[in-house]
A and B are shown apart, each in its own frame.
Chain A
């Protein structure tokens, strides 16, 4: 076994740089082709809910004659805490069962796997509900159906809470596969794997491969190195010609 030093590692990489490049290219091309040809594209569509406690009314409620004058800072804080609780409620199986029954064709577990519910940011009353699937229209419909069912469901659970659809899903954007990212990762992975194999082979190599290898392996002096000379009269036995 040779000593593994930074110079040794750099030398291995430099001497076989073409292998590393080849491995990176092969892995990149393979992954690119796989992403483009074999992987089904996925689309994500997002709808939003706004969640408040009973003291806060939405714009539409105000238009219907409700008053927003009583709203205090405490009410807003309570709504923010409430949003966190409602995320937990929205992740229960019951609501997915309800959506599954409404839409049909999916189980609650499947819908749960396709969805992602999160607050837009830390101090907001808005919750974003995203659905991801291979059909952009289906993703949009699922998101919209979910927020409709969720509003009714939240009010049933917490009577003093208001949950309204803040924004319906209008479009669905392509979210997968991330071909360029995957290709770059595969190229790096390919080069790293090839490099690891090169180091392993070099460490386990049994034959003398160079002057440096001999000097590292043995303590006796190396008096000289004679190049292989081809095209001479003794090439048949590869032992070279008399000078």
Chain B
């Protein structure tokens, strides 16, 4: 699978600045999680199209590159896309596990040594009920002991209630925001909804920036590495 081929980043495809950005976010999150004593993260956005799933997947890879055992769960049961981006099957997944049709062990995809992905599974019209069920909560509690980090890709908060339902079960919420795309009022609305639901908002990740800020590293002699991704 391609995602495994990207273990050490794919120099010809992914710019150095991008891989560095994810590693920087990972570092910030490690500090935050150490403070917060939690290991379950929800990654969400205000609306669709902000790069939430890509961010969740890349964060999972970035964490797994530390040698930590990471599980990425696609909890967007209405419009699942993790399986497409990771290029893995979606025959069985979260909805199947919660509904009792499959076991976690048979549904989970071992995409690399330290990274497992549980795709969304069959699209269900009862996604809110499934995600709010005691079974899902119990599953998460069980998995917390098995993985160092669990990252959950949730539906956008302002679009459906599923995002808040899932996030309430996590230790914190990450907002993905896209530059020159996400409207401030929408972010404020999503943050208010999360805070109202008593969900810890860990922070935000800004996607799609113009990258000018990273160019300054050229001054310090790092620019030659930008095309190779080497250290």
Binding site for B on A (CB under 8 A): 206-211, 214, 217-218, 220-229, 231-234, 237-243
Contacts and interface: CB of A to CB of B under 8 A. Distances in A.
Contact of B25 (A211, A223, A234): A223
Given A207-B184, A220-B201, 17 more contacts: A206-B184, A211-B213, A217-B184, A218-B187, A218-B204, A222-B206, A224-B206, A225-B179, A226-B51, A227-B17, A228-B211, A234-B85, A241-B54, A242-B2, A243-B18, A243-B58, A243-B62
Q: Please name the 7 residue pairs, one residue from A and one from B, whose CB atoms are nearest each other, closest first.
A: A227-B211, A224-B25, A221-B203, A223-B203, A225-B206, A228-B208, A226-B21
Nearest to A210: B179
A224 B187 CA distance: 16
A37 to B, nearest CB: 41
A220 B180 contact: no
A207 B182 contact: yes
Interface of B: 2-3, 6, 9-10, 13-15, 17-19, 21-22, 24-25, 28-29, 32, 49, 51, 53-55, 57-58, 61-62, 85-86, 174-175, 177-185, 187-188, 191, 201-211, 213-214
Contacts of B178: 208
A189 B209 CA distance: 33
Contacts of A243: 6, 9-10, 14, 18-19, 22, 58, 61-62
Contacts, number: 143
Which DSSP category, helix, strand, loop or mixed, fits chain A's interface? Answer: loop
A166 B34 CA distance: 97
B222 to A, nearest CB: 15
A78 to B, nearest CB: 77
A221 B204 contact: yes
B208 A226 contact: yes
